[in-house]
């Protein structure tokens, strides 16, 4: 058989195979897209209804929602000119930021301790994830009892310090939010722990081994090999935790209802008060739309960062091969 | 392990004995129905049987099953499903029902201050027609029945008076050494406080934080602050609205009330800013508080069963104020719980009859006198002298303090949008209590927020409601 005959035969056989492959890809695409479209159409009415509420002035007890007066952007303006909204936002950012960092540092530390198997490993694993399995409202009520001035936490601290400590954890308006941040860290550290453990476990062993053979110290291996390889996982853990913390409600409400004063009034608490205390659904909808827009900006930025990290990681993996060829 | 064996013969004998004894036991458990109950039963029968669905906190429902079974036996109407929702969440759930308009719930056990808002939402069935039909007369101590009405129409039937009398530690107050020390220090004898200023002076004397004894035990958290504030305001002759529906929260009386509210911080527990009843009640019961205006159910909690302070409290009417030029004493009742019938329910007639039956003088006495649960506090004149209620509340002194306090009891703002008005005051007072702003600034900010709420609800609507709100005020300055 000549070369050209071989090419023709291969070409005739490849055409149906290509057709079948492209049909398979099409089916696969639709398999993925159908649930997405369904979800989109399922969620759309909620967003549209919320948009309707935010553009109309509806307080539950004053009219039916379909009879509510058109208010244009008045409610958005009302929310945007209300200092209470900005303070709530600032508190939410403080809460989410600090608790995310706290969860991450402790979770990563535990993951570093745990990613190499040892005897009794699974017992510690279960212990470390237990806080995440505890219902947040239960945490708030338990903490309420533990954190009395004359409660067990202060007693333990007094014992350790050798002097009487009677710290006011919840009634101090300057400190109350930090108390709830600490509870959040306790509650959600396992989340960061699990993600970082998975990240550490999936790292390729070769670069670490190679560095060790070349005499790199543990610290250097950690900073210069493990951390760069883990960057996408780190960002994922931070972003997911931050978004989750922005929506925290049970502990903040269960413990202090946003008080003392408004010192723990975060965005979810503010939205609850506006919508279900004042029954001002329209203002609540306008405020939540504004929050949603900001969260979209945060999510898009996060996606951008994650993509950039992934690209950087891909480049890192490709680099040694390219260097070898050179 | 030995396995218990029950033969069929034994089982059948037991079942037969239970069947024979049960009716007698059931009869022994409940009192015989009276004429008022007979009239309700007669009126109910024409509406036919119904299986009702209510919303009530389990701690309240606990007192009703026997009466519910009894009413079912008599009329075929019974509450068969009870949604266990805490009091504080029922207004939200009721409002959600006003949106869905499903008619699924027949009765809401909700605080009566929500009546104007729930009426505006079109959810509440007027009850006067049913009351007339069944020959039922709503009787509550003093002017208290007005709490169940809105614009002269009855919309709720009471279940819990929830008034706050004065509590003072008897063992300390009547201690001769303490009395002498007080007289030496102040140059006057230690006597029951007439005014808020007297109370503060006495509380300061007994405030001994180093001994875990705190002068004052009222609530100062974000959810409850305003209840005390209204009491101070009304006793100073103040009122939160002008007749023209303008908020009047920056008047001298309102400033006095805010100062009185904040002055108690110096004799309160340092954690009071974050404490609700779950934290404060144990402190009162354990004797770590000297003085408080607190919910009357605590009297039963203290005196009804042995506690560290059983027999160690004096009960009376809260102090008052001479700010207006004459002595005015006021107490507060909130939340006053009541049964509200869903206007949208297809079983509303049966639900109304069920509610009437549960709140007759006789039946409500049984509910209030429940030996272990004290969530239903007295409100009917009959409760004040009923021996079984008196027994639960530890004797005549406690009951007399409740009766007298009810004679001068006052509501929070009884207008449409109650929760919104309340939240604005709670939030600002709580801010002031936390030291974030002055009392004057707090009421100024609350006034500003109230102005916006009035504008949203409509001045005309509030203006129309104010005469009824004013009519709820006690008819006497000092109770007798």
Mean pLDDT on B403-407:
98
In the predicted structure, residue B389 carries a pLDDT above the cut 50: yes
Considering only residues B388 and A36, tell me which one the structure prediction assigns the higher pLDDT.
B388
Q: Where are the domains of chain A?
A: 1-38, 76-136+173-315
Place of tokens 């919104």: B420
Taking only residues 429 to 458 of chain B, the set having a beta carbon closer than 8 angstroms to any beta carbon of chain A reads 430-436, 453, 456-458
pLDDT band at B370 (very low <50, low <70, confident <90, very high): confident
Nearest CB neighbour to B120, from listed A62, A258, A277: A62
Top residue of B273, B413, B421, B453 to mutate, by most chain A CBs within 10 Å, is B273
pTM > 0.95: yes or no: no
What is the pLDDT at residue A2? Answer: 46
Q: How high is the mean pLDDT of chain B?
A: 93
The residue among B95, B117, B92, B227 whose CA lies nearest residue B462 is: B117
Mean pLDDT of B82-93: 94
B121 closest CB neighbour out of A61, A258, A273: A61
Domains of chain B: 32-155+337-378 (3.40.190.10), 166-333+410-471 (3.40.190.10)
| Tokens 């208010």 sit on residue | A71
d(CA A192, CA A185): 10
CATH architecture of A76-136+173-315: Orthogonal Bundle (1.10)
Give yes or no for a cis peptide into B391 (omega within 30° of 0): no
**Closest approach of B417 to chain A, Cα-based (Å):** 7
Q: What confidence tier does B177 reach under pLDDT thresholds 50, 70, 90? A: very high
Point out the residue among B117, B273, B420 whose CB comes nearest to the CB of A259: B273
- What is the model's pLDDT at position B25? 44
Is the Cβ–Cβ distance between A131 and A187 less than 8 Å? yes
pLDDT > 50? residue B166: yes
- Give tens-digit pLDDT for B108-156: 999 999 999 999 999 999 999 999 999 999 999 999 999 999 999 999 9
The rounded percent of chain B whose pLDDT value lies above 90 is: 90
Task: Kindly give the parts of chain A with pLDDT less than 70.
Answer: 1-15, 319-326
Picking from B355, B450, B435, B240, the residue whose alpha carbon sits closest to that of residue A260 is B435
More confident residue, A64 or B465: B465
Q: How many beta carbons lie within 10 A of that of residue B16, not counting itself?
A: 10
Q: What is the pLDDT of residue B18?
A: 55
Chain B stretch 250-289, residues whose beta carbon is closer than 8 A to a beta carbon of chain A: 270-275, 278-279
Yes or no, beta carbons of B120 and A61 under 8 Å apart: yes
Beta bridge partners of B332: B410
Would you state the pLDDT for residue A13?
59
Q: How far apart are CA B241 and CA B417, in angstroms?
A: 14
Q: Binning pLDDT at 50, 70 and 90, where does residue B17 land?
A: low
Q: Mean of the pLDDT values across residues B354-381?
A: 93
Contacts of A221 (CB under 8 A, 6+ apart): A208, A211, A212
pLDDT of residue A20: 84
pLDDT at B19: 52
Predicted confidence (pLDDT) at residue B223 exceeds the cutoff of 60: yes
């Amino acid at each position: 058989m000549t070369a050209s005959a071989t090419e023709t035969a291969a070409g005739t056989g490849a055409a149906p195979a290509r057709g079948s492959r492209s049909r398979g890809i099409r089916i696969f695409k639709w398999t993925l897209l159908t649930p997405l479209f369904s979800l989109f159409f399922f969620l759309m009415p909620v967003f549209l209804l919320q948009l309707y509420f935010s553009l109309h002035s509806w307080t539950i007890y004053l009219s039916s929602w379909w009879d509510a007066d058109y208010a244009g952007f008045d409610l958005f303006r009302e929310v945007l000119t209300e200092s209470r909204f900005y303070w709530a936002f600032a508190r939410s950012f403080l809460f989410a930021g600090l608790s995310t960092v706290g969860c991450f540092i402790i979770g990563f530390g535990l993951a570093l301790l745990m990613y190499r198997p040892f005897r009794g490993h699974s017992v510690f694993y279960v212990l470390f994830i237990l806080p995440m399995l505890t219902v947040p409202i239960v945490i708030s009520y338990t903490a309420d009892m533990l954190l009395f001035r004359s409660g067990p936490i202060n007693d333990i601290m007094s014992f350790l310090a050798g002097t009487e400590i009677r710290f006011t954890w919840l009634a101090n308006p300057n400190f109350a939010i930090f108390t709830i941040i600490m509870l959040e860290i306790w509650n959600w550290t396992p989340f960061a722990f699990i993600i970082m453990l998975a990240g550490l476990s999936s790292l390729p062993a070769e670069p670490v081994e190679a560095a060790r053979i070349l005499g790199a110290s543990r610290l250097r291996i950690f900073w210069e090999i493990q951390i760069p390889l883990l960057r996408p996982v780190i960002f994922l853990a931070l972003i997911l935790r931050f978004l989750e913390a922005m929506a925290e409600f049970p502990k903040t409400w269960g413990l202090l209802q946003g008080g003392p004063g408004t010192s723990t009034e975060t965005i979810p608490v503010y939205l609850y008060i506006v919508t279900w205390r004042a029954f001002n659904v329209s203002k609540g909808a306008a405020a939540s739309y504004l929050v949603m827009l900001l969260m979209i900006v945060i999510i898009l930025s996060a996606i951008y960062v994650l993509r950039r990290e992934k690209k950087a990681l891909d480049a890192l993996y490709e680099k040694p091969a390219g260097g070898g060829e050179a | 392990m030995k396995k218990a064996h029950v033969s069929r013969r034994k089982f059948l004998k037991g079942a037969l004995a239970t069947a024979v004894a049960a009716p007698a036991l059931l009869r022994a458990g409940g009192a015989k129905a009276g004429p008022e109950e007979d009239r309700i039963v007669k009126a109910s029968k024409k509406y036919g049987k119904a299986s009702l669905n209510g919303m009530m906190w389990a701690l309240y429902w606990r007192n009703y099953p026997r009466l519910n079974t009894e009413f079912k036996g008599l009329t075929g109407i019974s509450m068969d499903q009870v949604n266990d929702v805490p009091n504080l969440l029922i207004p939200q759930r009721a409002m959600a029902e006003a949106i869905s308009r499903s008619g699924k719930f027949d009765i809401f056990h909700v605080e009566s201050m929500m009546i104007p808002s729930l009426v505006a939402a079109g959810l509440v069935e007027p009850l006067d027609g049913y009351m007339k039909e069944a020959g039922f007369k709503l009787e509550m101590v003093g002017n208290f029945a007005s709490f169940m009405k809105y614009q002269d129409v009855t919309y709720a039937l009471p279940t819990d008076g929830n008034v706050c009398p004065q509590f003072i530690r008897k063992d300390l107050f009547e201690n001769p050494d303490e009395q002498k020390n007080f007289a030496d220090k102040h140059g006057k004898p230690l006597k029951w406080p007439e005014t808020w200023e007297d109370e503060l002076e006495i509380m300061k004397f007994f405030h001994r934080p180093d001994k875990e004894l705190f002068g004052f035990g009222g609530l100062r958290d974000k959810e409850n602050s305003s209840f005390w504030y209204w009491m101070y305001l009304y006793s100073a002759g103040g009122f939160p609205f002008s007749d023209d529906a303008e908020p009047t929260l920056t008047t001298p009386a309102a400033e006095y009330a805010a100062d009185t509210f904040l002055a108690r911080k110096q004799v309160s527990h340092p954690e009071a800013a974050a404490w609700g009843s779950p934290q404060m009640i144990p402190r009162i019961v354990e004797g770590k508080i000297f003085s408080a205006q607190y919910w009357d159910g605590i009297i039963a909690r203290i005196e009804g069963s042995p506690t560290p302070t059983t027999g160690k409290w004096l009960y009376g009417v809260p102090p008052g104020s001479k700010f207006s030029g004459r002595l005015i004493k006021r107490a507060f009742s909130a939340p006053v719980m009541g049964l509200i019938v869903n206007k949208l329910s297809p079983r509303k007639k049966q639900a109304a009859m069920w509610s009437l039956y549960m709140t007759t003088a006789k039946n409500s006495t049984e509910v209030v006198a429940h030996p272990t649960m004290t969530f239903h506090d007295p409100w009917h004149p009959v409760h004040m002298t009923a021996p079984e209620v008196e027994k639960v509340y530890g004797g005549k002194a406690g009951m007399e303090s409740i009766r007298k306090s009810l004679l001068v009891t006052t509501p929070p703002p009884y207008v449409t949008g109650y929760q919104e008005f309340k939240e604005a005051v709670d939030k600002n007072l709580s801010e002031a209590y936390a030291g974030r702003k002055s009392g004057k600034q707090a009421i100024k900010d609350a006034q500003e927020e109230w102005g916006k709420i009035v504008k949203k609800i409509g001045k005309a609507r509030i203006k129309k409601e104010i005469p009824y709100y004013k009519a709820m005020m006690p008819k006497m300055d000092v109770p007798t």
